[in-house]
């Protein structure tokens, strides 16, 4: 069975740099950091012009000028030699920055080279380099630096060299991990397969992907180098004739600033160091957020409250079957909200009814809103998802608006979920049995530990996993076993509805079959209602009772399975089926649907499928089609079926 897959390609920005700048400028932290740095670099660069005094000159200085308080003549007072602190500060910025940058450059160069070489070539080379790195990491750097610098000529170049030569270890490690990750990416393997040379691959493929993380690390290294220089200068190990902030502090601390109360000689240079390091840190942290946006939100951030719009909702006139309805989703609309973009209308006006014992298939391309819809049922959307219309009726409650406490008791107890990609869906540091037991303990009034264990074993055996596995960890299970364990866990509290979100996508065909059979069996045995999210039409055909086809966040078509397969009315459904190989017709030509799914925050007017619909006409791109009833609960949203 072929699996129809359309890769979601983001809209390509005009140039990567412009695109990067756009994202970057939105990150306040990064921008503030950058501004701080630029301001200081300008001051340092133009020190000759801006500084009121020449810090090297003793012209006109007398002993009464020493440690003078800030005044109009000297904004930040004078130091131990009677010189203007402000001017020294500006010139000192130069040396502090220069040493920091050059030393960091050396570190990054060495670390980057070692990291890439180790990661790329692997084997003995990697082993040797990484062992060497580990050993250097272990040697305490400040004492080593202190020893080296104090026993050699005090000069800025020595300091740069020593800091640079001893600061590359973390860079090497990070770059190596990143190289390893990139090395196994498909395009690198492809390049090697076509015989590209190592140097070419490294420069053209590996480096560009390692660069971002290297840049973030570089910023950290620079700030550390500046801190190191100031510490060394403070300890008296730098060139005393080279003004730097650390050197200013060395003179102040060593020539009695504290006892005189000359706080300005101590605060001002230190403030400079803090300014630069803070700027770099903000920039680095901001960059990291830009490059690794995962850090922006997490699952425990509070969600958005449901909006209650007065717009009426469709009432599906005839249910698809006769058994009692367990879940009634009415006109559900979900937006993803953000501060600076218009909301993405991820799901709009979707309705369906799930009956007891029914297995509904939810079909659509990646990004059509299937997962969003499913997550919204028990309000598991992230912090930017918001239900803006409609309701989720379950057990006479509208889950979209109940309180957190009420919801907590419904979750898993009434509606549970089998997630896709069970590798991360289970906590790797807790045993599987533990995690299943957790659900039991939360919802069921089982008193003793022993009884819980018994129930866990029962569940595992139900899905065909031997009892002793309950004390093992997820990584010790095979892929198929994990998925079955997820199913076992989903059943732990005997829920009424189980949502299976692409439970077999990552598994091989044989296991797939097993899992599907298992689900079917359990459904019959336990009277479960299952929503099966997939983009595999073959599975849908085999197992489902009803099918909901979604496109671009809206219902394309919704009917019982036979109707969908034998008489699809929506062009999208028809195209899907055309792209699907039919065993009974091996000669059939397979087609694909050209084009890309719509951008949900910039939807064109009219039908969302219109741009790709082979049957589209003028009205389609002007007016959004209603959901038309086609009898027996069959609905489709297309202008073409109007009036049927």
Partner 1 sequence: MRKFKSLTILILVGALILSACGGLGQSQPVTMRVGWSGSPDTLNPGAAVLSEAYTIFGLVFDTMYQLQLDGSFKLSLAESVSVSDDGLVYTYKIRDGVTFHDGQPLTAEDVVFTYYLYQNTDGYPWMGDYTYYFENMEATANNEVVITLSEPIPNIDAQLVFLYVLPKHVWENEDPVEFENTAMIGSGPFKVVEYQPEEFVHLARNDEYFGEVPKIDELIFQSFGSQDALVQAIKTGQVDMIYELPNTAVATLEEDPNIQVVTGAPFAPGVTDIIMNQVTPENCPPDDGLCTGHPALLDRNVRLALAHATDKQKIIDVVLLGLGTPGTALLPDGLGIWYNSSIQDYAYDLDKAKQILDDAGYADTNSDGVREMPDGSRTLTFRINWDSDNIDPPRIAELLSEMWGPLGVKLEAQALDSDTLTSVCCPAFDFDIIIWGWGSDPDPNLLLSVMTTDEIPTGSSETGYSNSEYDALYYEQAAELDLERRKEIVWQMQQIVFDDVVYIIPYYAQNVQAYRSDRFTGFVLDQPKVELSDITSLAYVEPVR
Partner 2 sequence: MSHYRYLLRKIGWSAFTIVFVILLNFFLFRILPGDPARSLTKDPRMKQDAVEALRVRFGLDKPIINCFDSFTPVRIGSCSVNPLETQFFIYVKNLFQGEFGISYKTNRPVSDILVERLWNTILLIGAGQILSIIIGVVFGVFAAWKARTSIDYGALLTGLMAWSLPTFWLGIILLFWGSNNGLPIGGKSTPGASTYPLLFQIGDIAEHMLLPTLTYTIVFMGEYMLVMRSSLMDVLSEDYILTAKAKGLSTFQILKDHALKNAMLPIVTIIAINLGFTVAGAIQIESVFSWPGLGGAIFEAVESRDYPLLQGTFLLIAISVVLANLIADLTYSYLDPRVQSE
Residue ranges that bind partner 1, judged by CB under 8 A = 56-59, 61-63, 66-67, 80-82, 150-155, 236-237, 239-241, 250-251, 253-262
CB of 353 to partner 2, least distance (A): 22
Residue 61 near which of partner 1, partner 2, none (CB within 5-8 Å, type-dependent): partner 1
Output phi, psi for 292, to 5 deg. Answer: -125, 70
Q: Are 637 and 625 in contact (CB under 8 A)?
A: yes
Q: Are 637 and 626 in contact (CB under 8 A)?
A: yes
CB of 66 to partner 1, least distance (A): 6
Q: Are 174 and 112 in contact (CB under 8 A)?
A: no
Q: Which residues contact 250 (CB under 8 A, 6 or more apart)?
A: 233, 234, 235, 236, 238, 240
8-state DSSP, 411: B
For partner 2, the closer of residues 53 and 89 by Cβ is: 89
CB of 266 to partner 2, least distance (A): 6
Of 139, 181, 203, 311, which lies in the binding site for partner 2, with binding defined by CB under 8 A?
139
* Distance from C-alpha of 489 to C-alpha of 491, rounded to nearest angstrom: 5
> What is the per-residue burial (b if ≥16 Cβ within 10 Å, else e) of 490-515?
bbbbebbbbbbbbbbbebeeebbebb
CB of 158 to partner 1, least distance (A): 11
Q: Are 210 and 204 in contact (CB under 8 A)?
A: no
Cα 604 to Cα 306, 436, 609, distances in angstroms: 25, 46, 10
Q: Is residue 214 exposed (0-12), middle (13-18) or buried (19+ Cβ within 10 Å)?
A: buried
For partner 2, the closer of residues 138 and 509 by Cβ is: 138
Stretch that binds partner 2, among 134-142, 353-361, 566-574, 595-603 (CB under 8 A): 134-142
Residue 254 near which of partner 1, partner 2, none (CB within 5-8 Å, type-dependent): partner 1
- Please give the residues from 3 up to 22 whose contact with partner 2 meets the rule CB under 8 A: none
Residue 390's SS3 state is strand
For partner 1, the closer of residues 68 and 574 by Cβ is: 68
Residue 178 near which of partner 2, partner 1, none (CB within 5-8 Å, type-dependent): none
For partner 2, the closer of residues 108 and 232 by Cβ is: 232
Residue 425 near which of partner 1, partner 2, none (CB within 5-8 Å, type-dependent): partner 2
Write down the H helix ranges in 46-122: 47-50, 85-121
Interface with partner 2, residue 45, by CB under 8 A: no
Residue 366 near which of partner 2, partner 1, none (CB within 5-8 Å, type-dependent): none
Question: Of 271, 158, 169, whose CA–CA distance to 220 is shortest?
Answer: 169
How many residues touch partner 2 (CB under 8 A)?
72
Residue 171 burial (CB count, 10 A): 26
For partner 1, the closer of residues 140 and 261 by Cβ is: 261
Residue 416 near which of partner 2, partner 1, none (CB within 5-8 Å, type-dependent): partner 2
Interface with partner 2, residue 439, by CB under 8 A: yes
For partner 2, the closer of residues 19 and 421 by Cβ is: 421
For partner 1, the closer of residues 78 and 217 by Cβ is: 78
CB of 51 to partner 1, least distance (A): 17
CB of 532 to partner 2, least distance (A): 17
Of 87, 171, 231, 247, which lies in the binding site for partner 2, with binding defined by CB under 8 A?
231
* Distance from C-alpha of 364 to C-alpha of 609, rounded to nearest angstrom: 12
Write down the H helix ranges in 139-244: 141-150, 156-166, 169-183, 186-193, 198-201, 207-234
CB of 222 to partner 2, least distance (A): 12
For partner 2, the closer of residues 531 and 607 by Cβ is: 531
Output phi, psi for 345, to 5 deg. Answer: -85, 85
CB of 409 to partner 2, least distance (A): 6
Specify which residues 385 forms β-bridges with. 336
Residue 146 near which of partner 1, partner 2, none (CB within 5-8 Å, type-dependent): partner 2
* Distance from C-alpha of 390 to C-alpha of 551, rounded to nearest angstrom: 19
For partner 1, the closer of residues 146 and 209 by Cβ is: 146
Q: Are 349 and 333 in contact (CB under 8 A)?
A: yes
* Distance from C-alpha of 257 to C-alpha of 80, rounded to nearest angstrom: 7
For the sheet containing 529-534, what is the strand order? Answer: 415-418, 497-501, 529-534, 359-363, 546-551, 554-560, 635-636, 628-629
Residue 550 near which of partner 2, partner 1, none (CB within 5-8 Å, type-dependent): none
Interface with partner 2, residue 209, by CB under 8 A: no
Residue 281 near which of partner 1, partner 2, none (CB within 5-8 Å, type-dependent): partner 2
Stretch that binds partner 2, among 11-19, 192-200, 226-234, 356-364 (CB under 8 A): 226-234
For partner 1, the closer of residues 63 and 584 by Cβ is: 63
Residue 198 burial (CB count, 10 A): 12
* Distance from C-alpha of 429 to C-alpha of 10, rounded to nearest angstrom: 35
Residue 352 burial (CB count, 10 A): 22
For partner 2, the closer of residues 28 and 309 by Cβ is: 28
Pattern 264-293, partner 2, x by CB under 8 A: --xx--x--xx--xx--xx--x--------
DSSP H or E stretch at residue 249: helix 245-254
Residue 282 near which of partner 1, partner 2, none (CB within 5-8 Å, type-dependent): partner 2
Output phi, psi for 209, to 5 deg. Answer: -85, -20
Position of tokens 């202008």?
Answer: 639
Residue 154 near which of partner 1, partner 2, none (CB within 5-8 Å, type-dependent): partner 1
DSSP string of 52-95, one letter each residue: SS-TT--TT--GGGTTPPP-SSSTT-B-TTS-BHHHHHHHHHHH
CB of 362 to partner 2, least distance (A): 17
For partner 1, the closer of residues 41 and 266 by Cβ is: 266
For partner 2, the closer of residues 289 and 573 by Cβ is: 289
Interface with partner 2, residue 72, by CB under 8 A: no
């Amino acid at each position: 069975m072929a699996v129809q897959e359309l890769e979601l390609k983001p809209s390509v920005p005009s140039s990567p740099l412009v695109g990067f700048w756009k994202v970057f400028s939105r990150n306040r932290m990064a921008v503030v950091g950058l501004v701080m740095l630029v301001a200081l670099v300008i001051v340092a660069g133009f020190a000759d012009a801006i500084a009121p005094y020449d810090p090297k000159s003793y012209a006109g200085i007398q002993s009464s000028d020493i440690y003078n308080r800030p005044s109009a003549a000297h904004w930040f007072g004078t130091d131990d030699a009677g010189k203007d602190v402000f001017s020294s500060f500006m010139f000192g910025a130069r040396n502090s920055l220069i040493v920091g940058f050059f030393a960091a450059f050396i570190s990054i160069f060495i670390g980057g080279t070692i990291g890439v070489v180790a990661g790329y070539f692997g084997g003995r080379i990697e082993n040797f380099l990484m062992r060497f790195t580990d050993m250097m990491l272990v040697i305490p750097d400040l004492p080593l630096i202190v020893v080296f610098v104090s026993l050699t000529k005090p000069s800025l170049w020595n300091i740069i060299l020593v800091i640079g030569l001893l600061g590359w270890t973390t860079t090497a490690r990070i770059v190596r991990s990143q190289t390893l990750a990139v090395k196994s990416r498909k395009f690198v393997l492809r390049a090697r397969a076509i015989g590209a040379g190592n140097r070419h691959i490294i420069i053209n493929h590996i480096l560009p992907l390692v660069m971002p993380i290297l840049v973030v690390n570089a910023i950290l290294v620079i700030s550390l180098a500046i801190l190191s220089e100031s510490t060394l200068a403070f300890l008296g190990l730098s060139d005393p004739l080279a003004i730097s902030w650390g050197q200013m502090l060395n003179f102040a601390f060593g020539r009695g600033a504290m006892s005189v109360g000359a706080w300005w000689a101590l605060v001002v240079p230190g403030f400079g160091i803090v300014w630069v390091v803070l700027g770099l840190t903000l920039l680095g942290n901001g960059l990291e957020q830009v490059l690794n946006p995962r850090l922006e939100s997490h699952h425990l951030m509070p969600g958005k409250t449901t909006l209650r719009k007065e717009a009426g909702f469709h009432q599906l006139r005839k249910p698809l079957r006769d058994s009692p309805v367990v879940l009634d989703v009415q006109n559900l609309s979900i937006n993803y909200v953000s501060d600076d973009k218009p909301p993405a209308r991820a799901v709009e006006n979707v309705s369906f009814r799930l009956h007891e014992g029914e297995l509904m298939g939810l079909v659509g391309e990646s990004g059509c809103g299937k997962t969003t819809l499913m997550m919204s049922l028990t309000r598991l959307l992230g912090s930017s998802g918001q239900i803006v219309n409609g309701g989720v009726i379950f057990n006479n409650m509208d889950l979209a608006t109940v309180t957190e406490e009420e919801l907590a008791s419904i979750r898993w107890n009434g509606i549970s979920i089998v997630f896709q990609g069970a590798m991360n869906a289970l906590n790797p540091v807790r045993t599987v049995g533990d995690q299943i037991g957790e659900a039991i303990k939360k919802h069921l009034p089982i008193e003793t530990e022993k009884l819980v264990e018994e129930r866990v074993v029962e569940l595992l055996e139900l899905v065909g996993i031997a009892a002793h596995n309950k004390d093992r960890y997820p990584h010790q299970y095979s892929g198929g076993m994990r998925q079955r364990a997820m199913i076992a866990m989903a059943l732990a509290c005997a829920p009424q509805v189980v949502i299976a979100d692409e439970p077999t996508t990552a598994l091989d065909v044989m296991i797939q079959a097993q899992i599907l059979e298992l689900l079917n069996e359990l459904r019959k045995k336990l009277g479960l209602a299952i929503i099966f999210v997939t983009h595999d039409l073959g599975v849908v055909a085999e197992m489902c009772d009803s099918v909901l086809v979604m496109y671009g966040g809206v219902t394309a078509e919704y009917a019982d399975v036979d109707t969908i397969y034998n008489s699809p009315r929506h062009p999208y459904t028809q195209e899907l089926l055309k792209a699907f190989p039919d065993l009974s017709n091996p000669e059939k030509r397979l087609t694909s649907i050209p084009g890309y799914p719509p951008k949900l925050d910039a939807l064109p007017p009219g039908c969302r499928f219109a741009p790709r619909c082979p049957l589209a006409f003028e009205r389609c791109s002007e007016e959004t089609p209603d959901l038309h009833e086609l009898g027996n609960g069959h609905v489709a949203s297309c202008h073409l079926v109007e009036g049927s």
